[in-house]
Amino acid sequence: MKSPPRARADPAARTWRRIAAIGAALAALVVLRLFVERPLGGAASFGWPEEAIRTLRMTAIAAALSVGAALGVAGVFLQGLLRNPLAEPFILGVSGGAGLGVTIALAFAWAGTAGSSIAGFAAPEWLPGAELVADAVRQLGLVLPAAIGGIAALVAVIALGQRRGAPDPLALVLAGVVVSTMCGAVVLLLQHLSPQGLRSDLAAWMIGRIPEAVEPALLVVVSALAIAGVALGAALGRSMDAATFGDDEAHAVGVPLRRLRWTLGIASGLLAAAAVTVAGPIAFVGLVAPHLVRSLAGARHAPLVVGAALAGGALLLAADILRQLVDLGGGRIPVGIFAALAGGPVFLVLLRRGKGFG
């Protein structure tokens, strides 16, 4: 990346310096999240937490980082796939579809319990961390239905968002809203039909939350997917750069467009599914993170993907810290509410600017 030749070295180095700065901000937020505390009904303060609390906070940090990274990378992938600056998992109904997948899996007790063909999976004992691996595979019983739901929703939205044979930026967004709303309605129906305990769990999850207690194996699965997403994005960076040209010109320079699009579509479905499984459908992080990084560090996709992963984590962590500090009298406010309130205006600004519309 830091090749010497004159003029070129400068912008590339600057890009990576800015990405590093986002990483530093993220590290600061991690420290802050570890030390900020506010007993219910009390005032916020800083202090070194005792071990049990520390574990909860570490879990929340890990969840925020992996979910934020997954959403940020999924946003970059979807924006590249559709050449649409408004694309992100929530808007396009991918999160909604993934949520429906998770809910169906839970409602029919497919995940981790009887009924799942992979529920009985046991890793060979000689494998280091065999228990965790076995647990992780069982967690796929939740993530896979989510991924199937998310990818199905994406395919439906792309099919519905065509105008005169080509995807239309605004038609895509409208189709996303409709698919999202319909998936939400089915989720609410299933929720309505479920037993009391599951019902309130689902309700909290539907708003979008950063949990302080998660199956460690699920966290492993989601982090692994997020890291794989970053690696894939870094590897496909130049392809995504070249795919910003028109289809014909991208083909002419040698981009295998069809393969690239399938890869990006499936990967963004998997990433959104991973995020939704842990945190519920959180809006706009997948939109704000890539745009924030683009404005700071330029449009080349390889650094953009890395930056969007860091920025996504930082945004969610910031929201999670904010939620520790703000008390409107009703207890801690779910993170999803902060995300929607902060991200909505960004979406509107991008919509009005209309930048990048064909």
Partner 1 sequence: MTLLAAGLRKRFGAVAALDGVDARFERGRIVAILGPNGAGKSTLLRTLIGALRPDAGTILIDGVETGALARAARVRCLGYVAQRPLLAGALSVREVVALGRFALDRSQERVERALAATELTREAERVASTLSLGQQQRVALARALAQVDAAGWLVLDEPLAALDPAHSVHAMALLRAHARGGGGVIATIHDPTSAALIADDALLLDRGRAVAAGPAPATLAPRMLEALYGVPFAQLDGDGLVALLPRPMHRSSQGGGSTS
Judged by the rule CB under 8 A, the positions of this chain that interact with partner 1 are 5, 7-8, 11, 83, 238-239, 241-242, 244-249, 251-256, 294, 298-300, 356
Q: 3-state DSSP call for residue 46?
A: strand
Least spacing, CB of residue 346 vs partner 1, in Å: 17
CA 233 vs CA 90, 313, 320: distances in Å: 20, 16, 26
Closest Cα partner for 252 from 240, 241, 242, 238? Answer: 242
Measured CA to CA, the distance from residue 358 to residue 341 in angstroms comes to 28
In the complex, minimum distance from the CB of residue 355 to partner 1, in angstroms, rounded to a whole number? 9
CB 97 within 8 A of CB 185: no
- The residue (of 159 and 252) whose beta carbon lies closer to partner 1 is 252
Nearer to partner 1, 28 or 253 (CB): 253
CA-CA distance, 248 to 225, in Å (whole number)?
32
Residue closer to partner 1, measured from CB, 228 or 350: 350
In whole angstroms, what is the distance from residue 248 CA to residue 144 CA?
A: 35
Amino acid at 346: V
CB of residue 99 to partner 1, shortest distance in Å: 31
Beta strands in the chain (DSSP E): 36-37, 45-46, 162-163, 166-167
Nearest-approach distance from CB 233 to partner 1, in angstroms:
15
For the record, the structure tokens of 243 come out as: 């795919």
HEC readout, 298-324: CCCHHHHHHHHHHHHHHHHHHHHHHHH
Strands 162-163 and 45-46 come out as: unpaired
- The nearer residue to partner 1, 252 or 348, going by C-beta atoms, is 252
Kindly state the smallest distance separating residue 223's Cβ from partner 1, in Å: 29
Tell me, what DSSP letter sits at residue 315?
Answer: H
Minimum CB distance to partner 1 smaller for 18 or for 300: 300
Backbone angles phi, psi at 167, to 5 degrees: -65, 130
> Residue 238 or residue 261: which is nearer to partner 1 going by CB?
238
Strand 36-37 and strand 45-46: the pairing is: antiparallel
Please identify, using beta-carbon distances, which residue of 104 and 302 lies nearer to partner 1: 302
**Cβ at position 240, least distance to partner 1 in Å:** 8
Query: Least distance from C-beta 356 to partner 1, angstroms?
Result: 5
Closest CA to 301 of 56, 28, 20, 80: 80
Between residues 83 and 332, which has the closer beta carbon with respect to partner 1?
Answer: 83
Q: How far is CA 353 from CA 83, 125, 174, 201, 346, in A?
A: 15, 57, 18, 39, 11
Least gap, CB of 95 to partner 1 (angstroms): 25
